[in-house]
């Protein structure tokens, strides 16, 4: 069976949720081969044992210092050596840059932001704010495909994959912009916006008061998002902005409270499995794409829903 290599994202020694999702995609296509760029790879390798992984390749070197450019060098050398059927990478800023550089180095086609890839390596992308679904394939080299987090439910497994070490060299060009200091994201108590299964977002209708939005999010174990209107007004951090110029999310449930649903916002959330909207304006465009819409004041509807959910949990 042919190998499908996937790049394991990790931060501060922990793999991201997306790593299990990529393993699941890889296994549905062929042998699932994880590649881990880390000097101390063992703790990361151990975390992969609960996912369908057939083999792990570790690559050590100054990858923390030189970032995506260096990882792309290592990945390209691995592709040339192993000639896998495909490479899967998470659609993050880093992931897409690694994919881009590896594509140029190896002369391989690239598809980004896929929400599915099937066993024949046909990808599905949702483009133009979710209004169009595109099916595409890579026609040259090793297909390099970046997949959005949360686009598949990771399959659990008990695996004890053999670990191989691969030696890669970092080119002089990739060493031109060293990382001189690094500040990891301060993780709040809530799940990460792009990884969360549920997102509750607030917009202009909050008038700057995100308390009911946060309370519902916490009752549901959800991440908190915000429209551009809310972040531009300084009501919520830009890092929580959902939309064309912010984060793209596709959770199981997206709750839009006091968000009108301009096309720019819809571009960031329209692939959510279920959409719930609360808006005072019965003409708000968001209500048209919602599976469940309440025309009403979020300051009445959200607290009532929050209380109900907490009561149900008992």
Partner 1 sequence: MKIAICIKQVPDSWAEKKMAGGVLDRAGVDAVLNDLDEYAVEEALRIVEANSPTKEAGEGSGHTITLISMGPERATEAIRKALSMGADDAILVTDPSLAGSDALATSLVLSEVIKKGNYDLVLCGTESTDARMSVIPAMISQRLGWAQLTFAGKVAVNPAANTVEIERVTEFGNQVMSAKFPAVLSVVEKINEPRYPSFKGIMAAKKKPITNMSLADTGVGSSDVGSAAAWSNVKEALPRPPRGAGVKLTDEGNGGEKLVEFLVEKRLA
Site for partner 1 in 204-263 (CB under 8 A): 220, 238, 244-245, 252-253, 263
- Residue 269 gets which letter from DSSP? T
User: Per CB under 8 A, does 182 bind partner 1?
Assistant: yes
b/e map 57-71, b = 16+ CB within 10 Å: bbbbbebeebbbbbb
Shorter beta-carbon distance to partner 1: residue 55 or 109: 109
154 and 24 Cβ atoms separated by less than 8 Å = yes
Can you read off the two tokens belonging to residue 185? 């994201």
Min separation Cβ 165 and partner 1, Å: 24
271 Cβ contact partners less than 8 Å away, ≥ 6 residues apart: 115, 126, 130, 248, 250
Q: Smallest Cα–Cα separation from 207: which of 257, 245, 247?
A: 257
Distance CA 42, CA 163 (A): 9
Residue matched to tokens 């009403």: 296
| 162-165 and 55-59 strand pairing | parallel
Cα dihedral value 283, 207, 255, 232, nearest 10: 100
The distance of closest approach from Cβ of residue 160 to partner 1 in the complex, given in angstroms and rounded to an integer, is 28
Closest CB to partner 1 among residues 165, 307: 307
Q: Which stretch binds partner 1 (CB under 8 A): 52-60, 81-89, 101-109, 150-158?
A: 101-109
Q: Which of 173, 207, 208, 281 lies at the binding interface for partner 1 (CB under 8 A)?
A: 173
Distance CA 164, CA 186 (A): 33
Q: State which of residues 28, 47, 60, 97 lies at the interface with partner 1 (CB under 8 A).
A: 97
| 287 near partner 1, judged by CB under 8 A | yes
- Count of residues that bind partner 1 according to CB under 8 A: 88
Regarding 127 and contact with partner 1 (CB under 8 A), the answer is yes
Find the distance separating the first CA and the last CA of the chain, reported in whole Å.
50
Q: Out of 47, 92, 116, 155, name the contact with partner 1 by CB under 8 A.
A: 92
Stretch binding partner 1 (CB under 8 A), from 37-45, 81-89, 139-147, 158-166: 139-147
Q: Which is nearer to partner 1, 134 or 165 (CB)?
A: 134
Binding mask 56-75 for partner 1 (x = CB under 8 A): -----------xxx--x---
Query: Binding partner 1 by CB under 8 A: which of 85, 116, 163, 192?
Result: 192
- Give the integer Cα–Cα distance in Å for 31 and 2: 6
Residue among 75 and 161 whose Cβ is closer to partner 1: 75
In terms of residues, how long is the chain? 314
Quick check: 278 binds partner 1 (CB under 8 A)?
Answer: yes
Tell me which of 28, 116, 159, 264 binds partner 1, using CB under 8 A: 264
Residues 19-58 that bind partner 1 (CB under 8 A): none
Nearer to partner 1, 53 or 220 (CB): 220
**Distance in angstroms (rounded) separating the CA atoms of residues 252 and 255:** 10
């Amino acid at each position: 069976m042919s190998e499908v290599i996937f790049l394991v994202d990790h931060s501060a020694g922990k793999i991201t949720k997306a790593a299990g999702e990529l393993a699941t995609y890889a296994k549905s296509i062929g042998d699932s081969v994880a590649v881990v760029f880390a000097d101390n790879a063992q703790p990361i390798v151990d975390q992969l044992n609960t996912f369908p992984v057939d083999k792990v390749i570790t690559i050590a070197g100054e990858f923390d210092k030189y970032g995506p450019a260096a990882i792309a060098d290592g990945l390209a050398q691995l592709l040339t050596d192993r000639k896998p059927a495909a490479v899967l990478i998470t659609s993050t800023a880093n992931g897409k840059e690694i994919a881009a550089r590896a594509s140029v180095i190896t002369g391989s086609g690239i598809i980004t932001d896929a929400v599915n890839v099937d066993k024949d390596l046909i990808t599905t992308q949702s483009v133009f704010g979710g209004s169009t679904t595109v099916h595409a394939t890579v026609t040259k080299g090793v297909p390099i495909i970046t997949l959005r987090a949360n686009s598949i439910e990771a399959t659990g497994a008990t695996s004890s994959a053999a670990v191989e070490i691969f030696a890669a060299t970092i080119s002089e060009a990739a060493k031109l912009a060293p990382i001189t200091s690094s500040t990891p994201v301060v993780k709040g108590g809530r799940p990460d916006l792009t990884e969360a299964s549920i997102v509750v977002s607030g917009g202009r209708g909050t008038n700057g008061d995100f308390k009911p939005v946060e309370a519902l999010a916490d009752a549901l174990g959800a991440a908190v998002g915000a429209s551009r209107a809310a972040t531009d007004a300084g009501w919520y951090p830009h890092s929580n902005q959902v939309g064309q110029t912010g984060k793209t999310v596709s959770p199981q449930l997206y709750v839009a409270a006091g968000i009108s649903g301009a096309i720019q916002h819809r571009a960031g959330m329209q692939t959510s499995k279920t959409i719930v909207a609360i808006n005072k304006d019965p003409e708000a465009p968001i209500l048209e794409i919602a599976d469940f819409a309440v025309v009403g004041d979020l300051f009445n509807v959200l607290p009532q829903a929050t209380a109900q959910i907490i009561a149900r949990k008992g």
